[in-house]
Amino acid sequence: MNCTTCNKIAKKNGKDRKGNQKYKCAACGSVFTTKPKLEGKKLAADKIELVVRLLVEGNSIRSTERVTGVHRDTIISLLETVGQRCLEIQESCVRNVKVENVEADEIWAYVGMKQKTANKQGLGDDEKLGSVYTFTAIERDSKLIVAWHLGNRTEQDALIFLEKLSEAIEPTKRFQMSTDAFRGYDHTVNEVLGTKADYGQIIKVFGKGAQDESRYSPAPCIGIKKRVICGNPIKENISTSKVERQNLTMRMSMRRFTRLTNAFSKKWENLNFMLAIYFAYYNFCRSHKSLDNATPAMAAGLAKTFWTLRDLIGIKG
Protein backbone atom coordinates (compact mmCIF):
# COMPACT_ATOMS: atom_id res chain seq x y z
CA MET A 1 0.00 0.00 0.00
CA ASN A 2 1.32 3.43 -0.96
CA CYS A 3 1.14 6.41 1.38
CA THR A 4 -1.66 8.82 0.42
CA THR A 5 0.60 11.77 1.29
CA CYS A 6 4.04 11.02 -0.17
CA ASN A 7 3.39 7.89 -2.30
CA LYS A 8 6.07 5.86 -0.50
CA ILE A 9 5.43 2.32 0.70
CA ALA A 10 3.41 2.19 3.94
CA LYS A 11 3.17 -0.80 6.27
CA LYS A 12 0.17 -2.21 8.11
CA ASN A 13 -0.36 -0.61 11.52
CA GLY A 14 -3.25 -2.45 13.16
CA LYS A 15 -6.94 -1.70 12.68
CA ASP A 16 -9.31 0.98 13.91
CA ARG A 17 -12.36 0.25 16.07
CA LYS A 18 -14.52 -0.27 12.97
CA GLY A 19 -12.17 -2.96 11.66
CA ASN A 20 -10.65 -0.88 8.84
CA GLN A 21 -6.98 -1.57 8.11
CA LYS A 22 -4.60 1.19 9.25
CA TYR A 23 -1.28 1.97 7.59
CA LYS A 24 1.77 3.98 8.67
CA CYS A 25 4.31 5.50 6.30
CA ALA A 26 7.94 5.04 7.36
CA ALA A 27 9.02 7.99 5.20
CA CYS A 28 6.71 10.79 6.36
CA GLY A 29 5.16 9.17 9.45
CA SER A 30 1.55 9.76 8.40
CA VAL A 31 -1.10 7.24 9.47
CA PHE A 32 -4.12 6.61 7.26
CA THR A 33 -7.01 4.17 7.15
CA THR A 34 -8.61 2.49 4.18
CA LYS A 35 -12.38 2.22 3.99
CA PRO A 36 -13.04 -0.47 1.42
CA LYS A 37 -16.70 -1.09 2.22
CA LEU A 38 -19.47 0.52 0.19
CA GLU A 39 -20.98 2.15 3.25
CA GLY A 40 -23.29 5.08 2.72
CA LYS A 41 -23.73 4.47 -1.01
CA LYS A 42 -27.34 5.01 -2.05
CA LEU A 43 -26.99 3.32 -5.42
CA ALA A 44 -28.50 -0.11 -6.01
CA ALA A 45 -26.04 -2.99 -6.21
CA ASP A 46 -26.84 -3.58 -9.90
CA LYS A 47 -26.08 0.05 -10.69
CA ILE A 48 -22.77 -0.05 -8.82
CA GLU A 49 -21.79 -3.22 -10.67
CA LEU A 50 -22.69 -1.64 -14.02
CA VAL A 51 -20.61 1.48 -13.31
CA VAL A 52 -17.51 -0.55 -12.43
CA ARG A 53 -17.99 -2.90 -15.39
CA LEU A 54 -18.12 0.02 -17.80
CA LEU A 55 -14.96 1.51 -16.29
CA VAL A 56 -12.95 -1.72 -16.66
CA GLU A 57 -14.16 -2.13 -20.24
CA GLY A 58 -12.66 1.16 -21.35
CA ASN A 59 -15.41 3.73 -20.82
CA SER A 60 -14.61 7.23 -19.61
CA ILE A 61 -16.22 8.85 -16.56
CA ARG A 62 -18.57 10.98 -18.66
CA SER A 63 -19.57 8.18 -21.05
CA THR A 64 -20.33 6.02 -18.00
CA GLU A 65 -22.43 8.91 -16.67
CA ARG A 66 -24.40 9.07 -19.94
CA VAL A 67 -25.00 5.31 -20.08
CA THR A 68 -25.95 4.75 -16.42
CA GLY A 69 -27.46 8.10 -15.44
CA VAL A 70 -25.18 8.17 -12.37
CA HIS A 71 -23.59 11.57 -11.73
CA ARG A 72 -19.86 11.79 -12.47
CA ASP A 73 -19.08 12.85 -8.88
CA THR A 74 -20.75 9.66 -7.62
CA ILE A 75 -18.78 7.63 -10.17
CA ILE A 76 -15.52 9.16 -8.94
CA SER A 77 -16.55 8.42 -5.34
CA LEU A 78 -17.16 4.79 -6.32
CA LEU A 79 -13.82 4.74 -8.11
CA GLU A 80 -12.07 5.75 -4.89
CA THR A 81 -13.98 3.30 -2.68
CA VAL A 82 -13.60 0.28 -4.97
CA GLY A 83 -10.02 1.29 -5.79
CA GLN A 84 -9.07 1.20 -2.10
CA ARG A 85 -10.55 -2.28 -1.82
CA CYS A 86 -8.65 -3.48 -4.89
CA LEU A 87 -5.38 -2.09 -3.52
CA GLU A 88 -5.90 -4.27 -0.46
CA ILE A 89 -6.78 -7.27 -2.64
CA GLN A 90 -3.49 -6.89 -4.52
CA GLU A 91 -1.57 -6.62 -1.25
CA SER A 92 -3.27 -9.46 0.62
CA CYS A 93 -4.16 -11.97 -2.12
CA VAL A 94 -1.21 -11.76 -4.51
CA ARG A 95 1.36 -13.31 -2.16
CA ASN A 96 3.79 -16.24 -2.32
CA VAL A 97 3.28 -16.49 -6.07
CA LYS A 98 5.27 -19.27 -7.73
CA VAL A 99 7.00 -17.70 -10.70
CA GLU A 100 9.25 -19.18 -13.36
CA ASN A 101 9.67 -16.34 -15.84
CA VAL A 102 8.76 -12.70 -15.12
CA GLU A 103 8.67 -9.90 -17.67
CA ALA A 104 8.61 -6.23 -16.57
CA ASP A 105 7.98 -3.02 -18.45
CA GLU A 106 6.78 0.57 -18.02
CA ILE A 107 3.87 2.20 -19.86
CA TRP A 108 3.57 5.96 -20.28
CA ALA A 109 0.59 8.18 -19.49
CA TYR A 110 0.18 11.70 -18.16
CA VAL A 111 -1.79 13.43 -15.41
CA GLY A 112 -3.28 16.90 -15.68
CA MET A 113 -1.11 18.06 -18.58
CA LYS A 114 1.78 16.99 -20.77
CA GLN A 115 5.22 17.21 -19.16
CA LYS A 116 6.24 19.95 -21.60
CA THR A 117 3.34 22.12 -20.45
CA ALA A 118 4.08 21.41 -16.78
CA ASN A 119 7.69 22.52 -17.31
CA LYS A 120 6.57 25.74 -19.00
CA GLN A 121 4.25 26.55 -16.08
CA GLY A 122 6.96 25.90 -13.50
CA LEU A 123 5.28 22.69 -12.29
CA GLY A 124 7.86 20.26 -13.60
CA ASP A 125 8.95 19.16 -10.12
CA ASP A 126 5.45 17.98 -9.16
CA GLU A 127 5.62 14.17 -9.30
CA LYS A 128 1.82 13.94 -9.63
CA LEU A 129 1.61 16.13 -12.74
CA GLY A 130 2.85 15.52 -16.25
CA SER A 131 4.35 12.25 -17.42
CA VAL A 132 3.82 9.19 -15.23
CA TYR A 133 4.75 5.56 -15.79
CA THR A 134 3.03 2.37 -14.68
CA PHE A 135 5.54 -0.39 -13.90
CA THR A 136 4.11 -3.88 -14.39
CA ALA A 137 5.49 -7.38 -13.84
CA ILE A 138 3.71 -10.28 -15.53
CA GLU A 139 4.33 -13.99 -15.01
CA ARG A 140 4.89 -15.39 -18.47
CA ASP A 141 2.98 -18.67 -18.08
CA SER A 142 0.01 -17.72 -15.87
CA LYS A 143 -0.31 -14.15 -17.27
CA LEU A 144 -0.71 -12.93 -13.68
CA ILE A 145 0.16 -9.31 -12.93
CA VAL A 146 2.40 -10.08 -9.96
CA ALA A 147 3.21 -6.47 -9.06
CA TRP A 148 2.63 -2.94 -10.33
CA HIS A 149 3.58 0.59 -9.36
CA LEU A 150 2.54 4.06 -10.52
CA GLY A 151 5.38 6.56 -10.46
CA ASN A 152 8.03 8.22 -12.61
CA ARG A 153 10.63 6.55 -14.78
CA THR A 154 13.41 6.85 -12.22
CA GLU A 155 15.70 4.46 -10.42
CA GLN A 156 13.92 5.21 -7.13
CA ASP A 157 10.54 4.19 -8.55
CA ALA A 158 12.11 1.09 -10.11
CA LEU A 159 13.38 0.22 -6.62
CA ILE A 160 9.89 0.61 -5.09
CA PHE A 161 8.40 -1.50 -7.89
CA LEU A 162 10.94 -4.29 -7.40
CA GLU A 163 10.32 -4.29 -3.64
CA LYS A 164 6.62 -4.88 -4.37
CA LEU A 165 7.59 -7.71 -6.71
CA SER A 166 9.86 -9.24 -4.06
CA GLU A 167 7.06 -9.16 -1.48
CA ALA A 168 4.62 -10.87 -3.87
CA ILE A 169 6.68 -13.84 -5.03
CA GLU A 170 7.61 -17.05 -3.25
CA PRO A 171 10.69 -16.09 -1.18
CA THR A 172 12.84 -19.17 -1.89
CA LYS A 173 12.02 -19.66 -5.57
CA ARG A 174 14.66 -18.77 -8.18
CA PHE A 175 13.26 -17.35 -11.42
CA GLN A 176 14.23 -15.65 -14.66
CA MET A 177 13.45 -11.97 -15.22
CA SER A 178 13.46 -9.89 -18.39
CA THR A 179 13.09 -6.12 -18.90
CA ASP A 180 13.87 -3.51 -21.52
CA ALA A 181 17.09 -1.50 -21.38
CA PHE A 182 15.86 1.08 -18.84
CA ARG A 183 18.97 1.91 -16.80
CA GLY A 184 16.99 2.11 -13.57
CA TYR A 185 16.99 -1.70 -13.44
CA ASP A 186 20.75 -2.18 -13.86
CA HIS A 187 21.60 -2.13 -10.15
CA THR A 188 18.19 -2.31 -8.46
CA VAL A 189 17.27 -5.82 -9.66
CA ASN A 190 20.37 -7.30 -8.08
CA GLU A 191 20.00 -5.08 -5.00
CA VAL A 192 16.40 -6.13 -4.28
CA LEU A 193 16.15 -9.65 -5.69
CA GLY A 194 19.75 -10.71 -5.13
CA THR A 195 20.42 -14.32 -6.04
CA LYS A 196 16.72 -15.08 -6.65
CA ALA A 197 16.71 -13.63 -10.17
CA ASP A 198 18.54 -14.63 -13.33
CA TYR A 199 18.21 -11.31 -15.10
CA GLY A 200 18.55 -10.28 -18.74
CA GLN A 201 17.61 -7.26 -20.85
CA ILE A 202 16.17 -6.76 -24.32
CA ILE A 203 17.85 -3.91 -26.20
CA LYS A 204 15.87 -2.74 -29.24
CA VAL A 205 17.58 -1.24 -32.27
CA PHE A 206 15.44 1.35 -34.05
CA GLY A 207 15.65 2.63 -37.60
CA LYS A 208 14.78 6.07 -38.89
CA GLY A 209 11.09 6.97 -38.79
CA ALA A 210 9.18 8.39 -41.75
CA GLN A 211 9.05 12.18 -41.66
CA ASP A 212 5.29 12.48 -42.23
CA GLU A 213 4.52 9.95 -39.47
CA SER A 214 7.19 10.85 -36.94
CA ARG A 215 4.85 12.74 -34.65
CA TYR A 216 2.54 9.80 -33.93
CA SER A 217 4.45 6.69 -34.92
CA PRO A 218 7.66 5.38 -33.33
CA ALA A 219 10.65 4.55 -35.47
CA PRO A 220 10.57 0.95 -36.74
CA CYS A 221 12.39 -1.69 -34.70
CA ILE A 222 14.98 -3.24 -37.00
CA GLY A 223 16.56 -5.64 -34.51
CA ILE A 224 17.13 -6.62 -30.89
CA LYS A 225 20.07 -7.52 -28.71
CA LYS A 226 19.95 -9.62 -25.56
CA ARG A 227 22.19 -8.77 -22.62
CA VAL A 228 22.81 -10.84 -19.47
CA ILE A 229 22.92 -8.57 -16.42
CA CYS A 230 23.21 -10.99 -13.50
CA GLY A 231 22.80 -14.69 -12.76
CA ASN A 232 22.42 -17.28 -15.51
CA PRO A 233 19.30 -16.50 -17.54
CA ILE A 234 18.44 -18.70 -20.52
CA LYS A 235 19.24 -16.33 -23.34
CA GLU A 236 16.52 -17.50 -25.73
CA ASN A 237 13.95 -16.89 -22.97
CA ILE A 238 14.94 -13.25 -22.46
CA SER A 239 11.85 -11.50 -23.82
CA THR A 240 9.33 -8.74 -23.09
CA SER A 241 6.70 -9.74 -25.66
CA LYS A 242 4.07 -10.81 -23.09
CA VAL A 243 4.30 -7.66 -20.98
CA GLU A 244 4.26 -5.46 -24.10
CA ARG A 245 1.08 -7.21 -25.23
CA GLN A 246 -0.30 -6.52 -21.77
CA ASN A 247 0.47 -2.82 -22.34
CA LEU A 248 -1.90 -2.90 -25.31
CA THR A 249 -4.60 -4.53 -23.16
CA MET A 250 -4.17 -1.72 -20.62
CA ARG A 251 -4.55 0.97 -23.29
CA MET A 252 -7.68 -0.72 -24.63
CA SER A 253 -9.23 -1.35 -21.19
CA MET A 254 -8.69 2.04 -19.56
CA ARG A 255 -9.83 5.22 -21.22
CA ARG A 256 -7.18 7.19 -19.32
CA PHE A 257 -4.46 5.47 -21.38
CA THR A 258 -6.00 6.10 -24.80
CA ARG A 259 -3.71 8.27 -26.90
CA LEU A 260 -4.71 11.51 -28.63
CA THR A 261 -7.87 12.11 -26.59
CA ASN A 262 -8.93 14.40 -23.75
CA ALA A 263 -9.69 11.41 -21.50
CA PHE A 264 -6.40 11.63 -19.60
CA SER A 265 -6.42 11.54 -15.79
CA LYS A 266 -6.88 14.90 -14.11
CA LYS A 267 -5.75 13.60 -10.70
CA TRP A 268 -2.94 11.16 -9.85
CA GLU A 269 -5.03 9.50 -7.14
CA ASN A 270 -7.87 8.64 -9.54
CA LEU A 271 -5.42 7.08 -11.99
CA ASN A 272 -3.96 4.99 -9.16
CA PHE A 273 -7.44 3.79 -8.11
CA MET A 274 -8.37 2.94 -11.70
CA LEU A 275 -5.18 0.91 -12.09
CA ALA A 276 -5.95 -0.98 -8.88
CA ILE A 277 -9.44 -1.88 -10.12
CA TYR A 278 -8.17 -2.89 -13.55
CA PHE A 279 -5.40 -5.17 -12.25
CA ALA A 280 -7.67 -6.84 -9.69
CA TYR A 281 -10.33 -7.40 -12.37
CA TYR A 282 -7.71 -8.70 -14.82
CA ASN A 283 -6.18 -11.12 -12.30
CA PHE A 284 -9.31 -12.52 -10.65
CA CYS A 285 -12.32 -11.96 -12.94
CA ARG A 286 -11.25 -11.93 -16.58
CA SER A 287 -10.84 -15.25 -18.38
CA HIS A 288 -8.08 -15.89 -20.94
CA LYS A 289 -8.40 -18.21 -23.92
CA SER A 290 -4.69 -19.00 -23.70
CA LEU A 291 -5.30 -20.32 -20.16
CA ASP A 292 -8.22 -22.58 -21.18
CA ASN A 293 -10.59 -19.75 -20.21
CA ALA A 294 -9.25 -19.59 -16.65
CA THR A 295 -8.24 -16.38 -14.92
CA PRO A 296 -4.56 -15.60 -14.25
CA ALA A 297 -5.22 -16.03 -10.52
CA MET A 298 -6.59 -19.52 -11.14
CA ALA A 299 -3.61 -20.41 -13.37
CA ALA A 300 -1.23 -19.18 -10.66
CA GLY A 301 -3.00 -21.14 -7.92
CA LEU A 302 -4.26 -18.05 -6.07
CA ALA A 303 -7.94 -18.77 -6.70
CA LYS A 304 -9.96 -21.94 -7.27
CA THR A 305 -12.74 -20.35 -9.28
CA PHE A 306 -13.77 -17.16 -11.02
CA TRP A 307 -14.43 -14.06 -8.96
CA THR A 308 -17.52 -12.17 -9.96
CA LEU A 309 -17.41 -8.41 -10.24
CA ARG A 310 -19.53 -8.29 -7.08
CA ASP A 311 -16.89 -10.31 -5.24
CA LEU A 312 -14.31 -7.77 -6.35
CA ILE A 313 -16.41 -4.76 -5.38
CA GLY A 314 -17.53 -6.23 -2.08
CA ILE A 315 -21.26 -6.40 -2.74
CA LYS A 316 -23.07 -9.25 -1.04
CA GLY A 317 -25.60 -11.31 -2.89
How much of the chain exceeds pLDDT 70, in percent?
91
> 195 or 246, which is more confident?
246
Average pLDDT value for residue range 72-98:
94
In single-letter form, the type of residue at position 73 comes to: D
The pLDDT value given to residue 213: 54
Q: Class for domain 101-260, per CATH?
A: alpha beta
Degrees to nearest 5, angle at CA 296 with 307 and 148: 100
| pTM for the model | 0.85
Mean pLDDT of the region 232-250? 94
Give the pLDDT score at 210: 63
Q: Strand 175-179 to strand 197-206: parallel, antiparallel, or no bridges (unpaired)?
A: parallel
**Is residue 281 a contact partner of residue 56, using CB atoms and an 8 Å limit?**
yes
Q: What pLDDT does 287 receive?
A: 94
Q: Are strands 221-230 and 197-206 parallel, antiparallel or unpaired?
A: antiparallel
Task: Please say if the pLDDT value at position 41 is more than 70.
Answer: no
Query: According to the model, what pLDDT value does residue 204 have?
Result: 86
Q: Confidence class of residue 36 from pLDDT cuts 50, 70 and 90?
A: very low
